[in-house]
Structure 1
Amino acid sequence: MDLAGIAQQHQRELGELDKEIIGFILDNQAATEHMNIIELADAVHTSKSTILRLTKKLGFTGFSEFKYFLKQNRVSDSYKGPNVDSVATQISDITRTLDYLKSQDMTKLLQKMDDSETIYCYGTGYSQRKVIEEFSKLMICVEKRVIILPNKTEFDISMPMIKKTDLVIFASLSGETDDVKENLDILAMRGITTAAITSFGDNYFSRKADYSLFYYATPIIVGRKSFISESLIGLSCAMDYLFRKYGEFTKHADQKNESTKQHET
């Protein structure tokens, strides 16, 4: 169902201002997808809280979910071609993600990981959090302390404890989660190193982080109701690749240090 249909379902709950905002979004959907909540509020001459209340009236948990719906709906509307082989798409996403990662020089990021007293990880959604949980388990094998920040509230509480000797990794699909942008900005102002791992494309997290890595997440249309799905298998590959590269990095560093000691003696 598109935005107009959802608005029709909830029309009894909507005031005149709500309807005007929806009208603006329908006329400027592509532009709205790239706005944050404050920019949209300015565009329709209202407040951030009014936009947030509207998204909840329409049945969304917040503005981020609402923007994701707009993107999903646009992709669905623009999909006119033949059915795509979803398994072939999966293989392509994995292959392209790994090919991209192999082309990247991760030396500085790996060195920062090794130097960090603690690596904090934050996933912007449930699926992202499951991926970083697996990453944290793998990092035990290389004796590196990884702390998962399970939600925004605990992230905010933990902010004063994060030090310049730490590293914060953000795992995201869009790289545009509005309520986490402030955390990234504050960490940058405090001189704390950050890394963003997001799907390919220009996004806030990748622009603001000290290090950025990307993965492929091609939307596919599945099921009888033509639901649009974006698998995070590319994110899983990226996090697993980062763990493996770090394991190799520490092994080679230890061998180099041992060789240096033997030479000095």
Structure 2
Amino acid sequence: MFTPEQIAQFSELDYAIYDYVMKHPHEVAYMRIRELAEAVHVSPPTVLRFCKKVGCEGFSEFKTKWKLYLRETKRTAIISSQEALKEFFERTLTADYERTILDAAAAIARADHVIFVGSGSSGILAEYGSRYFSAFQKFSVYIKDPFFPIYGHYFHNCAVIALSVSGETSYTLAQVHRFKENGSTIISITNRKHCTLANISDYNLTYYATAERMGQTDVTTQLPVVYLLERLAKEMYRLLPTQTDRGPSGR
């Protein structure tokens, strides 16, 4: 409701109104402008100027937006972890889905190395994925800098695993596009099938979790992503050549 830019422009009286609104959110939603002014010990015109500073034409519009904000941030029912996993397996346990997992694992096994990309919670899981794959003898790294330069022949036989809940994160899409231009194989894990990231990937694994939000924060479960990363790593490991296959020199 209140942006950092708006708050930075507040006067001392504006801060007093802001403080009262934040401490009495439900009362303010049903107050008249004079009642709020008296509660904060300011004049009604001061309250009106405050409303205009936060993008409202008047106090009525401010109250309407404030009620919508309270409704959006109201605590919602959270899906249990057990239910989320059950939902994931029921939606994805098909022969076609299994084939995609195995085909993606084979592509990773053939690659010289693996690069993970993602941002936000997906970035944290991308970092975990790079560590997990490296433990299974496939050199993997995670690029956290969205402006990291991606050029050269190093990516010609590279598998890129891109993580994104929406599949529309601009930084992730830009990175994936640069990798694709350099000949990398793209494996994406998204929550929706019909998204840009899935469309530009060579292999896409969709987990179809019910979207959840707490206020403005996306809290959609990431348990299916952890499962898919670990499943891919283990399937990939089974396809790697053994030391005997590589010869005495290990090549």
| TM-score computed with the length of structure 1 as normaliser | 0.56
| Structure 2: distance between partners of 1:118 and 1:187 | 13
Query: Which consecutive unaligned segments of at least 5 residues does structure 2 have?
Result: 10-53, 55-67
Question: Aligned AA for 2:126?
Answer: I
Task: Decide whether aligned partners of structure 1 residues 135 and 98 sit closer, same or farther in structure 2, where only a CA change above 3 A counts.
Answer: farther
| Structure 2: distance between partners of 1:106 and 1:133 | 20
Question: Aligned AA for 1:236?
Answer: V
| Structure 1: distance between partners of 2:218 and 2:110 | 41
Structure having the larger proportion of residues in helix? 1
Q: Is 2:85–2:223's contact at 8 Å kept on the other side of the alignment?
A: no
Structure 1 equivalent of residue 171 of structure 2: 179
Partner SS state of residue 162, structure 2: strand
Question: Aligned AA for 2:166?
Answer: S
After superposing the two structures, state which structure 1 stretch, 191-200 or 167-176, moved more.
191-200
Q: 2:233 aligns with which of 233, 243, 262?
A: 243
After superposing the two structures, state which structure 1 stretch, 182-191 or 207-216, moved more.
182-191
Partner SS state of residue 157, structure 1: coil
| Structure 2: distance between partners of 1:246 and 1:87 | 27
Deviation, 1:108, is 3.4
Q: Is 1:216–1:234's contact at 8 Å kept on the other side of the alignment?
A: no
Structure 2 equivalent of residue 122 of structure 1: 117
1:70-219 to 2 correspondence within 5 Å?
83=77, 85-96=79-90, 99=93, 103-125=98-120, 127-153=121-147, 156-160=148-152, 162-219=154-211
| Structure 2: distance between partners of 1:242 and 1:83 | 32
| Structure 1: distance between partners of 2:116 and 2:223 | 18
Structure 2 equivalent of residue 33 of structure 1: none
CA deviation profile, 1:117-156 (whole Å, cap 9, x unmatched): 111111222x222222322222233211001112213xx3
| Structure 2: distance between partners of 1:111 and 1:181 | 23
C-alpha RMSD of matched pairs (Å): 4.0
Deviation, 1:242, is 0.9
Deviation, 1:163, is 1.9
Structure 2 equivalent of residue 234 of structure 1: 224
CA deviation profile, 1:170-199 (whole Å, cap 9, x unmatched): 111111011332332233333322111111
Question: Aligned AA for 1:244?
Answer: K
Deviation, 1:10, is 4.0
| TM-score computed with the length of structure 2 as normaliser | 0.58
CA deviation profile, 1:37-96 (whole Å, cap 9, x unmatched): xxxxxxxxxxxxxxxxxxxxx9xxxxxxxxxxxxxx9xx86x9xx956534532334434
Q: Percent identity?
A: 15
Deviation, 1:256, is 11
| Structure 1: distance between partners of 2:228 and 2:113 | 20
Deviation, 1:6, is 4.9
Q: Is 2:209–2:221's contact at 8 Å kept on the other side of the alignment?
A: yes
CA deviation profile, 1:4-45 (whole Å, cap 9, x unmatched): x558x94997xxxxxxxxxxxxxxxxxxxxxxxxxxxxxxxx
Task: Decide whether aligned partners of structure 1 residues 227 and 110 sit closer, same or farther in structure 2, where only a CA change above 3 A counts.
Answer: closer
Query: Which consecutive unaligned segments of at least 5 residues does structure 1 have?
Result: 14-57, 59-72
CA deviation profile, 1:222-258 (whole Å, cap 9, x unmatched): 6xx79763121121111111112112333xx649969
